[in-house]
């Protein structure tokens, strides 16, 4: 049978069109993949989400890099790792759990958030296993996933006592989603926070996150404005109405679960984030107090003159670095040091970050030497306050993992 010439032309044009479309799709996949890894930081997450939104094409491109010849999961970075949480591919999801278990994997919080984005009912035990993870960001994501898979209420209630505010917020919201109105009392405390960590507005950040989460769940906050102080009239009145609307009495709370105000006189800050050894938020004040944790911090009274001597030691360490303030490469592990040379001065920040590649003795010697007197002020006894329990030993272990062991 002979085809008319016009029919052959249509068929040829159709084939060319399909080939062009396929080429265009391939180019778009490569463009988005490249942008998600190498693009400007501000566009990487958007590019990764658009890549997985392409469906099977985008997922196949990521799977290609998980082969023996590929980049591997760690090299693709947090934006693509977190976007995997939106994928349908069981093979991609299966690559996440081993990475979460691997203490040396550089992006464990991103893996945890990916797993918690669309939790599977079959994964409840996996989420439960990591509720005690040393890293608070991982615990918070595991709480979200555990609650999303209908994990038991006792487990979620236990997480309300976590020392970290991010974990407590996740637990309270998960309980609220399960009809446990009592959890709202703990979120009301978050709406009352006024604390800071040096210039970082930790209290306002908590207020914004909680108010958005509650509004999304239909909780009436009235005229409450999270960007304004909780003590101003309009916010105080809105909070009072919210409290009056609660059924039952306010449950007993530990000190770290209660809102606090700003701290005056911060001179030295040390923030440690280790995927294997946990997180620590330490501050030394003009009034010779050691503050441990964010929010309503635990307070340790130091001998008179301690902070001034520590400031002098750390100032010498800073000056010996010849202006350099960043060491290493971005990763899950980080030391951040803050120093106010005088009470009125802005804080000077120094960062040591441990990326995917191992770097021995990452911390410069002048800073390591300055750490000794700082760490010596930490208590190292058993304590009912989880923030203070064997604090010095735990901080030393974290520092060894991060920038190298102390002398």
Residues 338 and 354 in one domain: yes
Q: pLDDT at residue 16 above 60?
A: no
Q: What is the pLDDT of residue 17?
A: 52
Question: 9-13, 99-103, 151-155, 302-306: which has the highest mean pLDDT?
Answer: 302-306
Domain span at 373 = 266-402
Are 157 and 240 in a shared domain? yes
Examine the fold and report which residue of 214, 229, 262 is the final residue of a domain before the chain moves on: 262
Overall pTM surpassing 0.85 (yes/no)? yes
Are 244 and 197 members of one domain?
A: yes
How many C-beta neighbours within 10 Å does residue 4 have?
8
Q: Across residues 307-330, what is the average pLDDT?
A: 92
End-to-end CA distance of the chain: give it in Å, rounded: 89
- CATH number of the domain residue 345 falls in: 3.30.1560
**Using an 8 Å Cβ cutoff, are 258 and 296 in contact?**
yes
Domain boundary (243, 262, 281) is at 262
250 and 282, same structural domain? no
Q: What span, in angstroms and rounded, lies between the C-alpha atoms of 229 and 236?
A: 9
Q: What is the mean pLDDT of the chain?
A: 91
284 in helix, strand or coil? strand
Same domain (yes/no): 291, 201: no
Lowest mean pLDDT among 80-84, 170-174, 183-187, 362-366: 362-366
Residue 69: per-residue pLDDT: 87
In a domain, 114, yes or no: no
Confidence band for 24, pLDDT divided at 50, 70 and 90: confident
Same domain? For 271 and 255 the reply is no
Q: Is the residue at 389 inside a domain?
A: yes
Residue at a domain's end among 209, 228, 262: 262
363 shares a domain with 241: no
Share of the chain above pLDDT 90, in %: 79
Q: Is the pLDDT of residue 171 over 90?
A: yes
User: For residues 347 and 266, what is the distance between their CA atoms, to the nearest angstrom?
Assistant: 9
Query: For 383, left (φ over 0), alpha (ψ -120 to 50), or beta?
Result: beta
pLDDT score recorded for residue 13 = 47
330 and 370 co-located in one domain: yes
Q: Tell me, yes or no, whether 62 lies in a domain.
A: no
The total of structural domains in the chain comes to 2
Kindly state whether residue 83 falls inside one of the protein's structural domains: no
> Are 202 and 315 members of one domain?
no
Res. 11 pLDDT band, cuts 50 70 90: very low
- Strand (E) or helix (H) holding 358: none
4 confidence band (pLDDT: 50, 70, 90): low
Q: How sure is the predictor about 10, in pLDDT bands with cuts at 50, 70 and 90?
A: very low
Whether residue 23 has pLDDT greater than 80: no
Residue 65 lies in a domain: no
Assigned domain for 25 exists: no
Q: Are residues 347 and 270 in the same domain?
A: yes
Residue 58 lies in a domain: no
Q: Let me know whether 199 and 326 are in one domain.
A: no
Residue 253 shares a structural domain with residue 290: no
Asked if the structure places residue 213 within a domain, the reply is: yes
């Amino acid at each position: 049978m002979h085809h008319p010439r016009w029919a052959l032309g249509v068929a040829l044009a159709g084939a060319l069109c399909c080939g062009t479309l396929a080429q265009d799709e391939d180019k778009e996949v490569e463009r988005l993949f490249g942008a998600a890894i190498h693009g400007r930081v501000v566009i990487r997450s958007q590019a990764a989400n658009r890549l997985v939104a392409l469906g099977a094409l985008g997922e196949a491109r990521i799977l290609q890099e998980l082969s023996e010849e590929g980049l591997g999961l760690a090299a693709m970075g947090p934006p693509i790792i977190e976007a995997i949480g939106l994928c349908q591919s069981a093979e991609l999801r299966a690559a996440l759990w081993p990475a979460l278990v691997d203490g040396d994997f550089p992006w464990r919080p991103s893996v945890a958030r990916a797993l918690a984005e669309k939790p599977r009912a079959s994964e409840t035990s996996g989420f439960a296993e990591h509720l005690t993870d040393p890293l608070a960001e991982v615990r918070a994501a595991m709480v979200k996933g555990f609650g999303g898979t209908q994990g038991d209420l006792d487990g979620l209630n236990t997480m309300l006592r976590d020392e970290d505010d991010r974990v407590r917020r996740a637990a309270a919201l998960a309980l609220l989603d399960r009809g446990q109105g009592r959890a709202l009392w703990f979120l009301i405390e978050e709406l009352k926070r006024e604390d800071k960590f040096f210039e970082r507005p930790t209290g306002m950040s908590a207020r914004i996150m909680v108010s958005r989460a509650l509004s999304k769940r239909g909780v009436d906050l009235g005229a409450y404005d999270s960007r304004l102080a909780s003590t101003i009239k309009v916010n105080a009145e809105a909070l009072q109405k919210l409290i009056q609307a609660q059924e039952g009495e306010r449950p007993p709370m530990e000190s770290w679960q209660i809102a606090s105000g700003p701290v005056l006189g911060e001179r030295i800050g040390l923030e440690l984030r280790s995927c294997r050894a946990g997180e620590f938020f330490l501050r030394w004040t003009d009034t010779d107090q050691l503050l441990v944790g964010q929010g309503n911090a635990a307070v340790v009274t130091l001998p008179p003159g301690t902070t001034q001597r520590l400031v002098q030691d750390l100032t010498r360490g800073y000056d010996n670095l010849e202006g350099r303030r960043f060491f290493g490469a971005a990763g899950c592990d980080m030391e951040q040091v803050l120093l106010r040379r005088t009470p009125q001065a802005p804080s000077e920040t120094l960062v040591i970050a441990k990326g995917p590649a191992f770097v021995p003795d990452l911390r410069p010697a002048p800073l390591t030497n300055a750490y000794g007197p700082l760490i010596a002020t930490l208590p190292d006894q058993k304590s009912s306050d989880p923030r203070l329990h064997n604090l010095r030993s735990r901080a030393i272990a974290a520092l060894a993992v991060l920038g190298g062991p102390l002398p």
